[in-house]
Amino acid sequence: MVAALAAALLLDAVWWEPDSLRVTEYDLTVEAPALKGLRIAVIADLHAGAPYIDAAKIDAVVAATQAARPDLILLAGDYVSDRDDGSLRMPLDEVARHLRGLEAPLGVYAVMGNHDDMAGGRRVAAALGQAGILVLNNTHAVIGRADGAVILAGIDTWTGPADGREALAGLAQQDVLCLTHKPDVFPHLPPACVLTIAGHTHGGQVALPLLRRLALEHASRYGERYAHGVIREGGRTLFVSSGIGTTGLPVRLGVPPEISLLKIQ
């Protein structure tokens, strides 16, 4: 029985779970009238070309996202996967071509992740732009909707100050939806960021306590504090997606790949 259980866990970690995909819904109460009623799809850490993340998987991510009928689609960084020699496992134009099907009434926006920056942030941003995805690099966009404008700030902690000052420059004190890659920026953001969305941690990729802790210590200076899900601190809300792909060992256990669908109340 022990051997059978170990075999089942191994198969789950190296095959079933990393090869799976789901849309996970989260109900969030955020005291920001401009965000009320929004359905936001979050895609994080795609790592195109990594094990189990081929063109067909990206197409499945796009199809599942579209089927969820979000008002707004946010991409939280790390679209590429690189080899030890720095080359990409999937060419940028191919990644962009398969992401082109993403559409939402309020648009599709992105920020860069650390792997994108290492691959050449401008190249990645240009490729995403060809797919109709607007990259917010320490700047913000005003998105009109019937109930009032949504202000979306993209905070790139790899190329700017890690406190959102550039992205929020010129804004009066108001409710802002903030998008970044690494959640470690959250404690340094101003109160205007009533809801911040991030990725990067992969939720540790495994739920086993020791392995999870080791993985998260590498991913975040805060360890498990911002591992995954909804975190509320100081009257503000952070959501961290566990993402789609993997880095390091291509395993997931108890942290399945997900497209996160946030329903703001």
How does pLDDT run across 38-79, given as a tens digit for each residue?
A: 999 999 999 999 999 999 999 999 999 999 999 999 999 999
Angle at 135 between CA 134 and CA 138, to 5 degrees: 135
Q: Residues near 193 by Cβ (< 8 Å), separated by ≥ 6? A: 153, 164, 168, 176, 177, 178, 236
Contact by Cβ (8 Å): 196, 238: yes
Determine the average pLDDT of the residues in 244-248. 94
Residue ranges making up the domain that contains 202:
2-264
Q: Residues near 123 by Cβ (< 8 Å), separated by ≥ 6? A: 92
* Of residues 29 and 160, more confidently modeled: 29
Q: Is the pLDDT of residue 9 over 60?
A: no
Q: Residues near 159 by Cβ (< 8 Å), separated by ≥ 6? A: 112, 117, 121, 137, 138
State the pLDDT confidence band at 84, using cuts at 50, 70 and 90.
confident
Angle at 120 between CA 85 and CA 139, to 5 degrees: 150
For position 82, which CATH number holds? Answer: 3.60.21.10
At residue 94, the 3 state secondary structure works out as helix
Determine the average pLDDT of the residues in 155-182. 83
- pTM for the model: 0.94
3-state helix, strand, coil in the chain (%, to 5): 30, 25, 45
Which residues sit opposite 180 in a β-bridge?
155
Q: How many domains does the chain have?
A: 1
